Structure 1
Amino acid sequence: MLLADVVAASAAVAATRSRTAKAQAIAAALRAADPGEVGPVAAWLAGELPQGRVGVGWRTLARAAPPAAGAPSLTVAAVDATLTALAGTAGSGSAARREALLAELLAAATADEQRFLVRLVGGELRQGALEGVVLDAVAAAAGVPAPGVRRAMMLAGRLDETAALALGGGQEALSAVTLRVGRPVRPMLASPGSSLDAALADLGPDVTVEHKLDGARIQVHRDGHDVRVWTRTLREVTGGVPELVERVRALPCRTAVLDGETLALDDDGRPRAFQDTMSRFGSDGAAEDAAVLLSPFLFDVLHLDGRDLIDEPLSVRLDALAGLLAGDEHAPLRMPGVRRPTPEQAAAVLDEALGAGHEGVVVKALDAPYAAGRRGRAWQKVKPVHTLDLVVLGAEWGYGRRTGTLSNIHLGARDPDGGEPVMVGKTFKGMTDELLAWQTRTFPAHARAEHPWGLELEPELVVEIALDGAQRSPRYPGGVALRFARVLRYRPDKTAGQADDVEAVRALLAGD
């Protein structure tokens, strides 16, 4: 298969806003690919590299800009091999070798192919096909039910492998994908709840109500003496969190997959600032501030001593977790909470969480299996103030005492159909002088375009916004706008694909 065929499919995807049409274009490309090409094609059309980071930055991409080839000749296999070689280049002189490999690749590419490759390698390929659209396309191309593809993806954690399995072996191959200790699972996510009473009314009395911490999500796998830790984005940070490793290594089990949160506490047991917790997670997995100790709080178990629990209801998983942590009274690892509370008991859990300095509570249905990678209604997070994780789309130059700083930020919610984020408002509130300085230093590196009013940004940075609700508005393309939005903090632990979507904003409309 020629790279030109993938580029044409990418252009077709970008030319339509229809999720169905996007999936059909991708499915056609997958059917045309040879078995060994399916994985790379699926990943590329989702804007991903199967190799992950290949060690090439924008400066290298800008320098490696030879004249374009007159006719397409590059194959998918050849491009994939070069990207693998780029990712494996290390040691003395590696920068020069990478630049030479990249220049050779681009010299064989047409102008359209060059633009595609530069955006793909630079992480800027946004054609409106997020992972969910590509998974729908994989199901259509393979002629298998979409739920089976999604389940295999969440357990395998790799889009390219899942696509190759589906088209190569169908439903049988997908069904063979199971939870494996040592391979991280996409975390189950909670949807915003409008209030505690509303969450309880929605889910009924068969729930657990647990503290919602202002910490970092962790997934911990243990296989004998070996313990490994991953973040929400499935980045391994084992080397940077030795205290978490030791706590889990001391548990009375042989194998386990545990889900929870971790955060830094002060001497009084109250949570330190979110930034203090995140200082322990360096970009390479090493601790940036080893003086800040992390405390783990576990709230789920997906596997225990040879038994997979991921499809069991939460009540069964909590029983297993309680048995595992039963002898840990002096330094409890269990997330505080109450099962099947009365409304008064649930309110007391919320008061207790807020009094301890935490964000609120999560209400979870006890009959729900673990829906890896899903933000469903079975888990609902309740905070006294509405919060949303949104994408920064732009920033305006300030005036008055903010002259010279990038101040008023433009906020976008994720398009659930895979398009560009949908703008839902602006805010300059909640920004300290330190944060304004950080924005002014950081935003230019993410600029898509520069205007007299400020910068238009690539949709990469996620910010947590507090707001009083939402209102209908013809001013923005989504028909909805934020009310009294203010910045709480930036979320380096989240990607733009994990931001809240526009439906989460619409759910806050008064009376809806």
Structure 2
Amino acid sequence: MNFKEIAKYLDRIEITTGRIEMINILTELYKRMEDADDAAMLSYIILGEIHPPYKGFEIGMSEKLITKAIAFASGYDSNEVEKRLNILGDIGKVAEEFISKKRQKTLFTEELTLRKIYNTFSKITLTTGEGSIDMKIKHLTGLLVNASPLEARYIARLADGNMRLGVADMTILEALANVKGGREYKPILETAYNKHPDIGEIAKVLYSKGWDGIKNIDITPGIPLRPMLAERVRSPEEAWEKLKGKLAAEFKYDGERMQIHILRDNRVMIFSRRLENITHQFPDVIEIVKKHIKLEEGVIEGEAIAFDPDTGEFKPFQELMRRKRKHDVHETAKLIPVTLRLFDLIYDGESYLEKPFPIRRKKLEEVVSENELIKVSELIYPETLEELKKFFFMSVEQGFEGLMIKSTGPDSIYQAGARGWLWIKLKRDYRVELTDTLDLVVVGALYGRGRKAGSLSSYLMAVYDPKDDTYKTVCKVGTGFKDEDIVEMNRLLKPFIRDRKPARVVSHLEPDVWIEPAIVLEITASEITLSPIHTCAYDLIEKNVGLALRFPRFTGRYRLDKSPEDATTEKEVMDMYHKQKKVIMES
């Protein structure tokens, strides 16, 4: 399919503010994909990717390199292009504008096809070493020379890795289900995607092997699966009641969640909870795993926690953020050593997804050789509520976040990508009445006044609704941000600023700028109240009102380890509201 036609569809998607309309346009586009490879390539491009994130390949073109390519293709000076970029703030619109008025006309132009675009960007992605920058610019210039203005918009954005479409993986899965059967087939695709989160591969299998092929997708070592998530409760009593006393409890550590893959060729790969390949950041973890885990092939989960090897004391999560650098990783590993606490085994040559938690835990304990650098998580199987409460208070006393409480019943399977009551988190701050921390997504921002004028200094925050794949507002927050936080927030938000409401955002409020859901912040508040202006739980508790946070405050914790889909859900906030209301009535 020629890319000019695809660009028209992308333009329609970009200007729509309705999620259903977005899915309908995507469905129409995918119906035109007759080839499995084309469906895969299209899926990646829509998300601004060429390869799935877990492969660790990035297109690797800065705005400066893209502006050079635009200048070469249009015949203008790169300084002119950069000045225009500073005004428009959208590299795609800049490319569209300069290609529409390019000074030199080519006698012969090559029609750009989907495959031409994909294959050229694949070359750009894989080009490294001496002379790679010039080669990347040359490849991109070649595309822009042959592009129409509209094609240029999306080619430049793809080079930037930000298509500005507001489409997420779940949106694509729904469109694919519509094409090959109907919306009721989406759960089958979600199950496969949770085990093998490669949107291009899912599309390719669906188009080439149909639903039987999709149902046969399973865990593949070296390819991360989407992590299982937990619901939350406010007290040990509530957790005990939820799981009818059939549970295990383990310390909740303040570290970085890791999914560790052991491959038959003796390689170890490490993935973050966002499925990013972080292997290179943790050479020390690789060595620990190779020495202390007795598996030829396997997938295990755990937390890496910064610690002081002299005292054995754990350090806060923020210390680990210094391990994010790409260079001097061995030196950083010495400065910020980590210890592993492993809590699940998902694969050991066969899938353990359908096995109950006690069986997974027993196998994990069998394969780990413990020392101070690697241990299984501290866990008990309490026989009484009093034992559970004592263990909870012990965790708080020792400085941990609280407990992870897990079902031990026959149905206590590993639910990849799902949030449910098989896992429950009980954090120490839940013991304070009417106070919780929530992980919320920035969907809008407002400019400050006075000395903060010109900076986005307060933010419209939202919860995630997985049923509709939408984000619903729950508060505006401007408290808790230091001056350096304001600078950091403006840096983080800049690539996601939009001039119209993203299609997956549901809001009655109009901020100064809209933000594509991407950045997650930890927020605390005094209580949850009914609100006529926020859309979280709108019409679900009382007619014409939703739920809002009262006196929200930024805790100082950026949850960059979480994707927006990992944020606090609408249902969680509703549950918290009902529990809070019960506390007030009983007091």
Shorter-chain TM band: 0.7 to 0.9
TM-score of the superposed pair, with normalisation by structure 2: 0.77
Given the alignment, which residue of 287, 292, 317 partners 1:246?
A: 287
TM-superposed CA distance for 1:233, in Å, is 1.9
Quick check: 1:470–1:506 contact (8 Å CA) kept in 2?
no
Question: What per-residue deviation string (whole Å, max 9, x for no partner) do you get for residues 381-413 of structure 1?
Answer: 22224222222332543657x789764333233
Question: What per-residue deviation string (whole Å, max 9, x for no partner) do you get for residues 340-397 of structure 1?
Answer: 5422222222212211212122222223221222223322222224222222332543
Report the number of matched residues.
507
TM-superposed CA distance for 1:12, in Å, is 4.8
Shift of the 44–502 alpha-carbon distance from structure 1 to 2, 3 Å rule, reads farther
Shift of the 2–137 alpha-carbon distance from structure 1 to 2, 3 Å rule, reads same
Query: 1:333 corresponds to which residue?
Result: 375
TM-superposed CA distance for 1:272, in Å, is 1.2
Given the alignment, which residue of 491, 495, 501 partners 2:559?
A: 491
Query: 1:474 corresponds to which residue?
Result: 532
TM-score of the superposed pair, with normalisation by structure 1: 0.87
Shift of the 200–57 alpha-carbon distance from structure 1 to 2, 3 Å rule, reads farther
Matched AA of 1:505: V
Matched ranges for 1:103-182 at <5 A:
103-143=141-181, 145-182=185-222
Shift of the 252–485 alpha-carbon distance from structure 1 to 2, 3 Å rule, reads same
Matched AA of 2:199: L
Q: 2: CA distance between counterparts of 1:117 and 1:371?
A: 38
Q: 1: CA distance between counterparts of 2:372 and 2:564?
A: 39
Quick check: 1:129–1:418 contact (8 Å CA) kept in 2?
no
Quick check: 1:56–1:121 contact (8 Å CA) kept in 2?
yes
Shift of the 337–396 alpha-carbon distance from structure 1 to 2, 3 Å rule, reads farther
Matched AA of 1:299: F
For the pair 1:27 / 2:32, whether they are aligned, the reply is: no
SS of alignment partner, residue 500 of structure 1: coil
Quick check: 2:40–2:199 contact (8 Å CA) kept in 1?
yes
Matched ranges for 1:13-412 at <5 A:
13=13, 21-35=21-35, 36-50=37-51, 53-63=58-68, 64=70, 65=95, 66-68=98-100, 73-143=111-181, 145-223=185-263, 225-249=266-290, 250-266=292-308, 267-283=310-326, 286=329, 289-290=332-333, 291-304=335-348, 306-325=349-368, 328=370, 333-366=375-408, 367-383=411-427, 384-385=429-430, 386-392=436-442, 393-394=444-445, 396-397=447-448, 399=450, 407-412=457-462
Structure 1 unaligned blocks of 5 or more = none
Shift of the 376–45 alpha-carbon distance from structure 1 to 2, 3 Å rule, reads farther
Query: 2:463 corresponds to which residue?
Result: 413
Aligned residues: percent identity? 26
Q: 1: CA distance between counterparts of 2:462 and 2:282?
A: 33
Structure 2 unaligned blocks of 5 or more = 71-94, 431-435, 500-510, 537-545, 583-587
Question: What per-residue deviation string (whole Å, max 9, x for no partner) do you get for residues 268-326 of structure 1?
Answer: 4443121212212325794672211111111100112x23212212222112112223x
Quick check: 1:209–1:338 contact (8 Å CA) kept in 2?
yes
Higher helix proportion (structure 1 or 2):
2
Matched AA of 2:362: D
Q: 2: CA distance between counterparts of 1:157 and 1:133?
A: 14
Matched AA of 1:143: G
Q: 1: CA distance between counterparts of 2:328 and 2:356?
A: 33
Quick check: 2:342–2:377 contact (8 Å CA) kept in 1?
yes
Shift of the 430–34 alpha-carbon distance from structure 1 to 2, 3 Å rule, reads same
Query: 1:460 corresponds to which residue?
Result: 518
Report the more deviating stretch, 186-195 or 419-428. Answer: 419-428
Greater Rg by CA = 2
Question: What per-residue deviation string (whole Å, max 9, x for no partner) do you get for residues 9-29 of structure 1?
Answer: 445545666655544432332
Question: What per-residue deviation string (whole Å, max 9, x for no partner) do you get for residues 116-148 of structure 1?
Answer: 333344343343432112112223323384343
Matched AA of 2:387: Q
Given the alignment, which residue of 425, 431, 436 partners 2:481?
A: 431
Quick check: 1:55–1:87 contact (8 Å CA) kept in 2?
yes
Quick check: 1:238–1:285 contact (8 Å CA) kept in 2?
no
Quick check: 1:128–1:417 contact (8 Å CA) kept in 2?
no
TM-superposed CA distance for 1:73, in Å, is 4.4
Matched AA of 1:295: T
Quick check: 1:26–1:134 contact (8 Å CA) kept in 2?
yes
Shift of the 193–13 alpha-carbon distance from structure 1 to 2, 3 Å rule, reads farther
Quick check: 1:337–1:349 contact (8 Å CA) kept in 2?
no
Report the more deviating stretch, 409-418 or 311-320. Answer: 409-418
Shift of the 316–285 alpha-carbon distance from structure 1 to 2, 3 Å rule, reads farther
Quick check: 1:236–1:285 contact (8 Å CA) kept in 2?
no
Q: 1: CA distance between counterparts of 2:133 and 2:484?
A: 35
Question: What per-residue deviation string (whole Å, max 9, x for no partner) do you get for residues 163-182 of structure 1?
Answer: 10011101232233222222
Q: 1: CA distance between counterparts of 2:328 and 2:251?
A: 27
Shift of the 201–405 alpha-carbon distance from structure 1 to 2, 3 Å rule, reads same
Structure 1 runs (4+) greater than 6 angstroms displaced: 69-72, 402-405, 417-420
Shift of the 172–97 alpha-carbon distance from structure 1 to 2, 3 Å rule, reads same
TM-superposed CA distance for 1:503, in Å, is 4.0
SS of alignment partner, residue 173 of structure 2: helix
Quick check: 1:411–1:426 contact (8 Å CA) kept in 2?
yes
Q: 2: CA distance between counterparts of 1:16 and 1:464?
A: 30
